[in-house]
């Protein structure tokens, strides 16, 4: 078992994630994470019961894995119920998990961090996210971190594509779609900014009975055009990171698939906005819409923002402006 623990510590410190997350997980496997049980044993006057469920003592394994809230987060992630109910400690559980996954999959530490961060937000701020939202945030954080650190050193001098503002007097609409094939759910994210990069509006919407990427990307384009039109905006530059969708809409070739009516809807919406343009853009330039699209899978229907951007994309909006 000693060799297993050594291997575990090496895996934690070599995980593809920020240092603060490695440190958090190291504290967890060292049994020094400040859970309520840990603090109570050290004389701090605090209720040792779990803040989320209130039915069990808040030890490390419980809060990160065995609590019903944590279980729901794991179920909403790509790992599912990938833990043992019979583990004697969090360290033993993580050792068992390490045996069955690849080095690349050890990014699951990001989910552990998301659960612990949500627990702290609940404790100190009184906020409460759903398990699906926590799982989606963990995936978004991992995607952002991986993307920011995946460029080989030899290519560091090559400038990656970045979000560009539209010309003066124009508005840019970025759209993206996200898909959960297992549940047949699709979600779209739409973000509108002006020529100075200032936030104007955004929306998210979830759809059911969606099983193809082309389907949800097409719905995203339609929702973006509808939002721009509803705000009375005429000079619009709409960007989508699905090249197939953009080419299919602009080609105007007859379409015999079940998506034919949606293609017609998109073309009709474009024709009603004579100054609007539609173009393809790299995913690196579509970060804000991508985050909202992922988040939309956890909502029930439609959410709309005007003038004040949602917290989820404030960092991306600021980063896009700083790169200009």
Look at residues 290, 263, 258 and name the one whose alpha carbon lies nearest to residue 278: 263
Same-domain status, 33 and 110: yes
Same-domain status, 46 and 102: yes
Same-domain status, 175 and 119: no
Give domain status of residue 164, yes or no.
no
Look at residues 285, 295, 284 and name the one whose alpha carbon lies nearest to residue 151: 284
Same-domain status, 188 and 98: no
Burial class (CB in 10 A: 0-12, 13-18, 19+), 97: buried
Same-domain status, 54 and 114: yes
Same-domain status, 207 and 316: yes
Give domain status of residue 155, yes or no.
no
Phi, psi of 15 (to 5 degrees): -65, 150
How would DSSP label each residue in 66-115? ISHHHHHHHHHSTT-S-S-TT-SSHHHHHHHHHHTS-TGGGGGHHHHHHH
The pLDDT value recorded for residue 277 is 93
The pLDDT value recorded for residue 268 is 93
Per the structure block, which two tokens stand in for 173? 């609409």
The pLDDT value recorded for residue 153 is 47
> How many independent structural domains does the chain possess?
2
Look at residues 318, 243, 311 and name the one whose alpha carbon lies nearest to residue 281: 243
C-alpha 124: how far from chain center: 23
Of 87, 115, 148, which marks where a domain is finished?
148
Same-domain status, 175 and 313: yes
The boundaries of the domain holding residue 264 are 171-322
Give domain status of residue 153, yes or no.
no
Same-domain status, 124 and 185: no
The pLDDT value recorded for residue 100 is 61
Of 115, 148, 181, which marks where a domain is finished?
148
Same-domain status, 110 and 201: no
SS3 sequence, 260-324? HHHHHHHHHHHHCCCCCEEEECCHHHCHHHHHHHHHHCCCCCEEEEECCCCHHHHHHHHHHHHCC
For CA atoms 194, 197, 203, 208, the dihedral sign is: positive
Q: 187-200 burial string, b = 16+ CB within 10 Å, else e? A: bbbbbbbbeebebb
Give domain status of residue 19, yes or no.
yes
Same-domain status, 175 and 318: yes
The DSSP call for residue 208 is E
Name residue 202's beta-bridge partners.
191, 305
Give domain status of residue 7, yes or no.
yes
Same-domain status, 85 and 116: yes
For CA atoms 196, 199, 201, 205, the dihedral sign is: positive
Give domain status of residue 103, yes or no.
yes
Give domain status of residue 154, yes or no.
no
The pLDDT value recorded for residue 323 is 62
Phi, psi of 98 (to 5 degrees): -60, -30
Per the structure block, which two tokens stand in for 40? 């109570």
179 within 8 A of 216, measured Cβ to Cβ = yes
The pLDDT value recorded for residue 101 is 64
Give domain status of residue 12, yes or no.
yes
Query: Which residues in the chain land under pLDDT 70?
Result: 1-3, 79-87, 99-106, 150-158, 255-256, 323-324
Same-domain status, 208 and 135: no
Q: What is the CATH number of the domain that holds 313?
A: 3.30.420.10
Of 102, 117, 148, which marks where a domain is finished?
148
Residue 67 to residue 81: CA distance in whole angstroms: 12
The pLDDT value recorded for residue 164 is 93
């Amino acid at each position: 078992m000693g060799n297993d623990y050594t291997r575990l510590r090496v895996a934690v410190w070599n995980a593809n994630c920020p240092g603060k997350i490695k440190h958090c997980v190291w504290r967890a496997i060292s049994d020094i994470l400040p859970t309520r049980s840990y603090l109570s044993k050290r004389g701090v006057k605090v209720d040792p019961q779990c803040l989320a469920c209130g039915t069990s003592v808040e030890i490390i394994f419980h809060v990160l894995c065995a609590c019903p809230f944590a279980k729901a987060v794991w179920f909403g992630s790509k790992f599912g119920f990938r833990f043992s109910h019979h583990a004697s400690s969090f360290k033993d559980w993580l050792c068992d998990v390490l045996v069955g996954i690849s080095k690349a999959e050890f990014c699951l530490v990001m989910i552990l961090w998301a659960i612990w961060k949500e627990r702290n937000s609940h404790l100190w701020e009184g906020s409460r996210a759903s398990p699906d939202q926590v799982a989606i945030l963990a995936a978004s954080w991992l995607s952002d971190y991986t993307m920011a650190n995946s460029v080989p050193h030899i290519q560091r001098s090559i400038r990656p594509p970045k979000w560009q503002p539209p010309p003066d007097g124009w508005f840019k609409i970025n759209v993206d779609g996200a898909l959960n094939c297992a549940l047949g759910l699709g979600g779209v994210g739409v973000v509108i900014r002006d020529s100075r990069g200032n936030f104007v509006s955004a929306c998210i919407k979830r759809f059911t009975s969606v099983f193809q990427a082309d389907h949800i990307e097409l719905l995203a384009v339609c929702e973006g055009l509808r939002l721009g039109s509803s705000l009375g905006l005429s000079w619009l530059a709409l960007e989508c990171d699905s090249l197939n969708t953009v080419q299919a809409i602009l080609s105007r070739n007859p379409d015999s698939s079940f998506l034919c009516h949606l293609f017609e809807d998109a073309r009709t919406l474009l024709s009603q906005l004579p100054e609007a343009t539609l173009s393809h853009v790299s995913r690196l330039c579509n970060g804000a819409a991508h985050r909202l699209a992922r988040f939309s899978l956890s909502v029930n229907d439609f959410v709309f923002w005007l003038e004040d951007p949602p917290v989820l994309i404030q960092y991306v909006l600021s980063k896009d402006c700083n790169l200009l």
